[in-house]
Amino acid sequence: MSETINCDLCVIGAGSAGLSVAAGAAQMGASTVLIEANRMGGDCLNSGCVPSKSLLAAAKAAKNCGDATRFGVDGGAPRVDFAAVHAYVRGVIASIAPHDSVERFTDLGCTVIKGRARFIDDRTVEADGKLIRARRFVIATGSRVAIPDIPGLDDVPFLTSDTIFDNAVLPEHLIVVGGGPMGCELAQGYRRLGAKTTLVEMARILPREDKDAVDVVRQSLLADGVAILEGVRLSRVEKERGGVAVFLQDREETRIAGSHLLVATGRRPNVETLGLEAAGVRYCAKGVDNDARLRTTNKRIYVAGDAAGGPQFTHMASYHAGIVLRNALFRWPARNRPAAFPRVIYTGPELAQVGLSESEGRERYGDAVRILRADFKDNDRAQTEGLTRGFLKVVATKRGHILGATMVGHDAGELIMPWALAISQRLEISALANLITPYPTLSEISKRAAGSYYTPALFSPRTRRLVRFLRIFG
């Protein structure tokens, strides 16, 4: 007979969302079972945020070394030891892994089961020969790489975001299919490390993002030497000696040969193998159906992270975890309504967005919006550092209510936070316009953009008339 485990909460998946839920629940006194079929830490630790940003840090160091001559410092051309870069990436993963390990969660009080979970009825899961009956379940199974239907792809070796960080050899020519965040980041990163890179995108790169901001990123990629092919159709791929060949169809067929192929065309939720039908949970290819409290069609079962079918970000998974804990443990009707959800693309320069973009603001509010802009070239700290590419664009109502902000520039991901705070707390533009910022800092760009809201009124004919009138009184 199978061993039966009874618990308060059973969490399926030990990625960002599942680990946050399990750690919180266990430390608050709930008996918790955590099930993971693969590696603890999920995609973020093993094949996503941690390795990609580690590699990009190495690429940035190489770029800075090569750019040093503009400051009068001649360090020579960077010499990249890619084996050492690979070791650095693996070392960063190893340094973080104990925080996500079986041992740590066992010490927290969780029962950790390594195995594939499957519902056998509406309140029982089977994993590794054990039956887990819980008061509440959380589906946090993450997502996997979505492989496009490209003729010939099954017959050629190719890399994905799940496998590229296991590659210890610098590609001679990396062809990247997919111009989303991951595709752009890795195409630029590998180029800066010395690989020839070609980026292929059927539409335009970063199609969700502000076009003006994308133009800045595009020019930076081109300046680094990334070949960008947009608006093309990939008709087929073929294996050839020493690598792969990609065929693009426009008016005529074009052949591009490379040593390595990276497919970076998005991800899809891991939900099909969970036996959700037996649990009365409705789902589709986009993820598990859920309500504002992240409950599925079986109210005992919650969903969090990529499996919920929304934006696929680690910080969204962590946000979901807080909502699930409040609902599942305390029956507090917390809702999945992020007031301001920021996202960052870690190209050089970075592109950060929170709230509405300019096009979204104009579509929703029409002429009732004002677009405020400040450029890094007008920022003194940016001038001293040679970091003048990019801008901040703020979407506000005519009454000064902040709707969104887009920033492209050095450390945009760090600098976007005041705008996320302002939107989440419903602050008016005056809150940032009146802020005292240290000089000289890149953060002054936010004060400059906010202050521009008042420029038309401050320097208007009406203000000049008022100043002349007040002279009368001495």
The H or E element that residue 119 is part of is: strand 118-121
Q: Are strands 173-177 and 143-145 parallel, antiparallel or unpaired?
A: unpaired
Residue 89 inside a domain? The answer is: no
Is residue 372 pLDDT above 70, yes or no? yes
Q: Return the closest-CA partner of residue 3 out of 123, 116, 125, 97.
A: 125
Percent of the chain's residues with pLDDT above 70: 100
Q: Return the closest-CA partner of residue 182 out of 347, 21, 54.
A: 347
Indicate the Cα dihedral angle 155, 183, 220, 175, nearest 10°.
Answer: -10
Q: Domain with 254 in it: what CATH number? A: 3.50.50.60
Q: Return the closest-CA partner of residue 24 out of 38, 35, 34, 36.
A: 34
Residues 6+ apart with CB under 8 A from 396: 369, 370, 371, 372, 402, 403, 429, 453
Considering the domain architecture, whether residues 247 and 181 belong to the same structural domain is answered as: yes
The H or E element that residue 444 is part of is: helix 444-451
Considering the domain architecture, whether residues 185 and 252 belong to the same structural domain is answered as: yes
Region of 171 on the Ramachandran plot (φ > 0 left; ψ -120 to 50 alpha; else beta) = beta
pLDDT score recorded for residue 241: 87
Q: Are strands 260-263 and 173-177 parallel, antiparallel or unpaired?
A: parallel
Is residue 129 pLDDT above 90, yes or no? yes
Q: Which residues pair with 406 in a beta bridge?
A: 353, 393
Reply yes or no: is the peptide bond before residue 181 cis, omega within 30 of 0.
no
- Between CA 362 and CA 360 the distance in angstroms is 6
Percent of the chain's residues with pLDDT above 90: 90
| DSSP letter, residue 236 | E
CA 273, distance to chain mean position in Å, is 26
Q: Domain with 449 in it: what CATH number? A: 3.30.390.30
pLDDT score recorded for residue 468: 84
Tokens 């992020």, residue? 338
Residue 287 belongs to what domain range?
3-40+101-145+268-330
> Which pLDDT tens digit goes with each residue over 11-47?
999 999 999 999 999 999 999 999 999 999 999 999 9
Residues 6+ apart with CB under 8 A from 82: 168, 169, 170, 193, 194
Domain count, the chain: 3
- Of 266, 292, 309, the residue at which a domain comes to its end is 266
> Which pLDDT tens digit goes with each residue over 147-176?
999 999 999 999 999 999 999 999 999 999
- Between CA 334 and CA 119 the distance in angstroms is 26
| DSSP letter, residue 299 | T
Considering the domain architecture, whether residues 185 and 256 belong to the same structural domain is answered as: yes
- Of 283, 306, 330, the residue at which a domain comes to its end is 330
Residue 63 inside a domain? The answer is: no
The mean pLDDT of 70-76, rounded to a whole number, is 86
User: Six-digit token pair at 396?
Assistant: 């506000």
Q: Are strands 369-375 and 143-145 parallel, antiparallel or unpaired?
A: unpaired
Is residue 100 pLDDT above 80, yes or no? yes
At 244, the pLDDT band (50, 70, 90 cuts) reads very high
Considering the domain architecture, whether residues 260 and 275 belong to the same structural domain is answered as: no
Considering the domain architecture, whether residues 7 and 129 belong to the same structural domain is answered as: yes
- Between CA 35 and CA 223 the distance in angstroms is 46
Considering the domain architecture, whether residues 294 and 234 belong to the same structural domain is answered as: no
Q: What are the CB-based long-range contacts (under 8 Å, 24+) for 162-168?
A: 162/43, 162/47, 163/47, 164/262, 165/47, 165/51, 165/52, 165/55, 165/86, 165/89, 165/90, 167/86, 167/260, 168/82, 168/83, 168/86
- Between CA 114 and CA 470 the distance in angstroms is 78
User: Six-digit token pair at 198?
Assistant: 């070609």
Compute the half-sphere exposure of residue 285: CA atoms within 13 Å on the CB side of its CA.
Answer: 3
- Between CA 412 and CA 392 the distance in angstroms is 9
CA 320, distance to chain mean position in Å, is 15
- Between CA 460 and CA 283 the distance in angstroms is 57
Q: Return the closest-CA partner of residue 226 out of 266, 279, 186.
A: 186
Is residue 460 pLDDT above 90, yes or no? no
pLDDT score recorded for residue 18: 97
Considering the domain architecture, whether residues 140 and 18 belong to the same structural domain is answered as: yes
pLDDT score recorded for residue 410: 97
The mean pLDDT of 304-320, rounded to a whole number, is 95
Residue 216 inside a domain? The answer is: yes
Phi, psi of 67 (to 5 degrees): -90, 0
CA 469, distance to chain mean position in Å, is 54
Q: Return the closest-CA partner of residue 318 out of 7, 108, 19, 75.
A: 19
Residue 75 inside a domain? The answer is: no
Residue 68 inside a domain? The answer is: no
- Between CA 162 and CA 75 the distance in angstroms is 35
- Between CA 64 and CA 313 the distance in angstroms is 28
Q: Return the closest-CA partner of residue 138 out of 272, 284, 322.
A: 322
At 457, the pLDDT band (50, 70, 90 cuts) reads confident
Is residue 440 pLDDT above 70, yes or no? yes
The mean pLDDT of 99-116, rounded to a whole number, is 96
Residue 95 inside a domain? The answer is: no
Residue 203 inside a domain? The answer is: yes
Considering the domain architecture, whether residues 173 and 200 belong to the same structural domain is answered as: yes
pTM of the predicted model, to two decimals? 0.94
Is residue 146 pLDDT above 80, yes or no? yes
The mean pLDDT of 91-95, rounded to a whole number, is 97
pLDDT score recorded for residue 464: 83
Are 264 and 178 within 8 A, CB to CB?
A: yes
User: Rg of the chain's alpha carbons, rounded to an integer?
Assistant: 25
- Of 266, 294, 313, the residue at which a domain comes to its end is 266
Are 263 and 146 within 8 A, CB to CB?
A: no
Considering the domain architecture, whether residues 16 and 127 belong to the same structural domain is answered as: yes
> Which pLDDT tens digit goes with each residue over 201-241?
999 999 999 999 999 999 999 999 999 999 999 999 999 98
Q: Mean pLDDT for the chain?
A: 95
Considering the domain architecture, whether residues 15 and 119 belong to the same structural domain is answered as: yes
Considering the domain architecture, whether residues 289 and 183 belong to the same structural domain is answered as: no
Residue 91 inside a domain? The answer is: no
Considering the domain architecture, whether residues 13 and 116 belong to the same structural domain is answered as: yes
At 1, the pLDDT band (50, 70, 90 cuts) reads low
Q: At what angle do helices 314-330 and 16-27 cross, to 10 degrees?
A: 30
